[in-house]
Structure 1
Amino acid sequence: MEQAGPRGAHGSPGVGIPDVRTASTRVPAQPQAADVERERERNAAAGVAPGASSGAAADAEVRGSAARGEHTHSEPPPIPRPRAESARPVVQRASVRGQILDALRGALVAGELAPGEVYSAPLLGERFGVSATPVREAMQQLALEGAVEVVPNRGFRVVERGTHELAELAEIRALIEVPVMLRLARTVPAARWAELRPLADATVRAASLGCRATYAESDRVFHRAVLALAGNQQLVRIADDLHRRAQWPLVGGPATRGRADLVADAAEHTALLEALTAQNLPVVQSLVREHFAGA
Structure 2
Amino acid sequence: MMRSMLAAAVVILSAVLAPTGQAATPVEARLTLPYDHVLPGIPFDIVVTYTNVSDRPVTISGAEATLVVTFPGGETKVMHNPDPEAHDQWTLQSLLPSRLQPGQSMQQAASWDHGIPSWFIYPSFSGPGAYGIALELRVGDEFFDPICAVRTPTVAITVMEPVGIDAEIWKRMQTISDGKWSDISFQATKPGMALADEIRQFHPESGYYPYVLALRALHRGDRNSIPALLEAADRFETSPAYPYLLKAAADSGRYEAWTAERRGDETEAVKYFKFAQSYYRDALATKSIAVRAEAELGLRHTVEGLDRMAKKAR
TM-score by structure 2 length? Answer: 0.25
More strand by share: 2
